[in-house]
Amino acid sequence: MPSRSQSISIGELARRTDCKPETVRYYERIGILRDALRTEGGQRRYGEDAVRRLTFIRHARDFGFSVDAVRELLAMSDQPDMPCQEVDAIAKHHLEKVESRLQRLSVLRDELQRMVTQCAGGKIESCRIIEVISDHQHCISETAHGGAQDLG
Amino acid sequence: MPSRSQSISIGELARRTDCKPETVRYYERIGILRDALRTEGGQRRYGEDAVRRLTFIRHARDFGFSVDAVRELLAMSDQPDMPCQEVDAIAKHHLEKVESRLQRLSVLRDELQRMVTQCAGGKIESCRIIEVISDHQHCISETAHGGAQDLG
DNA sequence: ACTTGAAGCTGTAGCTGCTACAAGTTTTAC
DNA sequence: GTAAAACTTGTAGCAGCTACAGCTTCAAGT
């Protein structure tokens, strides 16, 4: 059983784990945070265990693990006696994805760098950037770059 | 005026630009592809100009430009007499985003690499990976890694 | 000319991972 | 006791497509 004192409000939990109350409710809805205890008036109250669990979730998300991966990691961390091969596999798989993304992004960077430096600053008609986008022939790599979504 | 022969079907257009008919319709709906001519029966028919425009769009997307950026780039490429400063600005801005993303991803890779290599392969209880995710103290960088979404 | 099957049409819902309302209720502090 | 802050649920929105369902049209073969 978790700690006796279930006195943390959703707002405080959010503050302590650097996220928003909406996100906490979202995690509850999709089932990676357990349903919270409620006050008589129906508000959620949490204990320290929830802080730990949510910290884990947020941290794993920071590492770029998908919510599904986080779900698996959580399930595993709830089974401390099991061997950690699967944890290892998930992490390695993720690492591979990060590495391949890194590869593609750096090709992209080179391509962009090249096209920016080659722009002579004249008319659009003769702009190197527009030219390169118009015609893949101008690219270094023959294959698609694979996009670069979510660069926020 | 574009070419006289508007005889390319949406499927063929999609094939020639390496995307799907749904995507073409989507681009039309959001207004970056002009409304196509229609057969009597209501099917879309395109000319070579549409192939060029869609190629531009897809290629710009491959470079990671957002749809909004693509919209601006298209508007500019339609004005060949204008100076290309703005094109340049968009590309540079994008390059910066790619570079900062690269930075963060490589920090992430190092972190992941470290945690994978340190995993001794025992029980979850003592698994380095779970440990690191649980406690940010174990990380090299003090700040958040910023996520690594969409690594597909 | 007729049939068949592929390809097209519209409209809507789904994906990820939240975020942002609106309209009402509860808690907290004074 | 009251006012403000924080909470509640439910729903819709973001990007950039993708995937249906249920129907229509087109192109090719006979």
* Separation between Cα atoms, residue A73 and residue A92, nearest integer Å: 13
Q: How far apart are CA A48 and CA B84, in angstroms?
A: 57
Average pLDDT over residues B127-137: 90
What is the predicted pLDDT for the residue at A147?
67
Q: Are residues B44 and B107 in the same domain?
A: no
Token representation of residue B69: 């950026």
Closest residue (CA) to C1' of nucleotide C8 is: B43
Mark whether B72 and B12 lie in a shared domain: yes
CA A1/CA B110 separation, integer angstroms: 37
Q: Please state the rounded mean pLDDT for residues B54-71.
A: 96
Which domain range does residue B123 map to? 101-146
And the tokens for A152? 């926020």
Please count the structural domains in chain A.
2
User: Does A21 share its domain with A65?
Assistant: yes
Q: What mean pLDDT comes out for the span A47-62?
A: 96
Domain membership of residue A87 (yes or no) is: no
| A28 is a domain residue | yes
Look at residue B8 and tell me if it is in a domain: yes
Angle, alpha carbons A36-A40-A45 (nearest 5°): 30
> pLDDT tens-digit profile of B79-121?
999 999 999 999 999 999 999 999 999 999 999 999 999 988 8
Distance B73 CA to D23 C1' (A): 38
A84 part of a folded domain: no
Chain B residues in contact with A60 by the CB 8 A cut-off are 133
DSSP label at residue A43: -
- What's residue B121's pLDDT? 84
B40 touches strand D (CB under 7 A): yes
Neighbours of B100 (CB within 10 A): 13
Mean pLDDT of A18-26: 97
pLDDT band at A5 (very low <50, low <70, confident <90, very high): confident
Count of C-beta atoms within a 10 Å radius of residue A137:
8
B63, part of any domain: yes
For B88, the closest of A79, A99, A119 (CB atoms) is A119
Looking at the fold, whether B65 and B120 belong to one and the same domain comes out as no
CATH value at residue B11? 1.10.1660.10
Mean pLDDT across chain A, nearest whole number?
90
Phi and psi at residue B82, to the nearest 5°: -75, 155
Instruction: Tell me if A44 sits within 8 A of A36, measured CB to CB.
Output: yes
Nucleotide nearest to B150 (CA to C1'): C16
A115 and A59 share a domain? Answer: no
Please report whether residue B83 resides in a domain: no
A139 CA to C24 C1' in angstroms comes to 58
pLDDT at position A2: 38
Question: How far apart are alpha carbons B74 and A112 in whole angstroms?
Answer: 17
Whether residue B6 lies within 8 A of chain A, CB to CB, comes out as no
Q: How many CA atoms lie within 13 A of A31 on its CB side?
A: 4
pLDDT in tens, A104-145: 999 999 999 999 999 888 899 999 999 999 987 777 666 667
A12 and A61 assigned to the same domain: yes
Assess if residue B38 is contained within a domain: yes
B73 plus B105 within the same structural domain: no
Closest CA to B149 of A150, A15, A14, A121: A150
CA–CA dist A108, A28 (Å, integer): 38
Please give the Cα distance from B113 to B110 (Å, whole number). 5
Question: Which residue among A77, A109, A128 closes a domain?
Answer: A77
CB within 8 Å: A63 and B151: no
Q: Are residues B16 and B56 in the same domain?
A: yes
Q: Is the model more confident about B135 or about A31? A: A31
* Residue A67 sits in the same domain as residue A105: no
Percentage of chain B exceeding pLDDT 70: 89
Within this chain, do residues B69 and B128 fall inside the same structural domain, yes or no? no
Instruction: Give the pLDDT score at B1.
Output: 39
Q: Note the residue count of chain A.
A: 152
Cβ distance of A123 and B59 shorter than 8 Å: no
Q: What's the whole-number mean pLDDT along residues B122-142? A: 85
- pLDDT given for residue A3 in this prediction: 40
> Does A152 have pLDDT greater than 70?
no
In terms of DSSP H, where are the helices of chain B? 10-16, 21-29, 48-62, 67-77, 85-118, 128-134
Average pLDDT, chain B: 90
pLDDT at residue A1, rounded to an integer: 39
Interatomic distance A24 CA / C23 C1' (Å): 21
| Residues B88, A112: C-beta atoms closer than 8 Å | no
Beta-carbon count within 10 A of A79 CB: 13
Residues A8 and A66 in one domain: yes
Q: Which stretches of A10-130 are assigned E, i.e. beta strand?
A: 37-38, 44-46
pTM: 0.89
Residues of A in contact with B118 (CB under 8 A): none
B16 and B55 both lie in a single domain: yes
Residue A93 lies in a domain: no
Å: B96 CA to C5 C1': 51
B9: alpha, beta or left, given left = phi > 0 and alpha = psi -120 to 50?
Answer: beta
Q: What's residue B137's pLDDT?
A: 75
Instruction: Give the pLDDT score at A121.
Output: 85
Q: Residue B142: pLDDT above 70?
A: no
Query: Which of residues 57 through 116 in chain B touch A, CB cutoff 8 A?
Result: 59-64, 73, 76-77, 79-85, 87-88, 91-92, 94-95, 97-102, 105-106, 108-109, 111-113, 115-116
